[in-house]
Structure 1
Amino acid sequence: MSEQITAPQISSTQISSTQIAIEHVTLRSPKSFEAVRAALEASVPPLDHAYAKLLQDGQVDAARDLLERQAPLSIFGARDHGGLLLTAGLTRKAIQYDIGNPLTAARMTRHVLSAALYAPIRVLLREDAEGGVAFEYDRPATTFGQFGKHEVDSVAQELDAQLRTVLADAAG
């Protein structure tokens, strides 16, 4: 016998959903995990988060100047997902990166704030059980394309090209 459970209704809450098509990219490398990681981290520097303090202090122009002097793409953060897999008894190499540019994000989110869901871009560098190394990510043009705004789409296309270039260079 099955039991039907009815969730409480909250009159002021509205929920909607939309299905979107995402292009998932896998970029394989003939190099070792360590070599690809070193190449990526050498070409895409860590983001200088000092801009956030400047913004907090009301120094918008100084924050913008700092961001404009940074690389076109930066690593916002990285997480060792391979280390997390040790909790499941697996030994794998996998690092999840957040890669992007705050000014690029602002160029999109000024038109559609929901674009902040995908900025920065999440990129996985992983080694599979057979030792194959690859980058994986969801193509920005498809994730941001769901918003149907030309201003966002054109920035996402630029981001696509930048991301593919740095990842292909690191992998090659």
Structure 2
Amino acid sequence: MSEQMTSTHITVEHVTLRSPKTYEAVRAALEASVPPLDHAYAGLLRDGKVDAARDLLERQAPLSIFGARDHGGLLLTAGLTRKAVQYDIGNPLTAARMTRHVLSAAQYAPIRVLLREDAEGVVAFEYDRPVTTFGQFANREVDAVAADLDDQLRGALAAAAA
């Protein structure tokens, strides 16, 4: 059996959104406005309770934190002290609105967002704009959902950084 691999070059817009606030203040603001995702929906789906899972997801916030990783803590292994947390932010129903049209869009949902304080003390969010990552699929339905997601994410991060 021969393997086939294709490769496509895409252009992605990377955003850096700086904040005048402290790292701790920005992190607290983000986590107060974008709640953790209630993962109970996954168990409902496994149990075949699709309507209950959909109802649970519809009651959740438009954006949720799927998970977070303390990347700054990881850098201790390299002898560095940094503040950085990597978030997965999105909405499972939003993801399903895209992946029903192009399953490969699942690779980018939820969106990965980094909150970091650099060596000079500058606090910023960094992320790749959803309209550019999902835009590679050239699907009108996916593009429309990605544009909404782009606006929601930018609004949430800008509010936390302000």
Q: Name 1:64's counterpart in structure 2.
A: 54
Q: CA deviation at 1:81?
A: 0.1
Cα offsets for 1:31-89 (capped at 9, x unmatched): 00000000000000000000000000000000000000000000000000000000111
4+ runs deviating over 4 angstroms: none
- Return the alpha-carbon distance in structure 2 between the equivalents of residues 86 and 93 of structure 1: 10
Q: Which runs of 5+ in 1 are unaligned?
A: 1-10
Correspondent of 2:20 among 30, 34, 53: 30
Q: Does 1:86 align with 2:79?
A: no
- Return the alpha-carbon distance in structure 2 between the equivalents of residues 109 and 43 of structure 1: 26
Q: Name 2:120's counterpart in structure 1.
A: 130
In the comparison of the two structures, how many residue pairs are matched? 162
Q: Name 1:4's counterpart in structure 2.
A: none
Q: Which runs of 5+ in 2 are unaligned?
A: none
TM (norm. structure 2) is 0.99
When Rg is computed on C-alpha atoms for both structures, the one with the higher figure is: 1
Q: Name 1:41's counterpart in structure 2.
A: 31
Partner AA of 1:45 in structure 2: P
TM (norm. structure 1) is 0.94
Q: CA deviation at 1:12?
A: 3.0
Q: Name 1:108's counterpart in structure 2.
A: 98
Helix, strand or coil for the counterpart of 1:18? coil
Q: CA deviation at 1:121?
A: 0.1
- Return the alpha-carbon distance in structure 2 between the equivalents of residues 166 and 12 of structure 1: 46
Identity of aligned residues (%): 83
Partner AA of 1:132 in structure 2: V
Q: CA deviation at 1:13?
A: 1.4
Q: Name 1:161's counterpart in structure 2.
A: 151
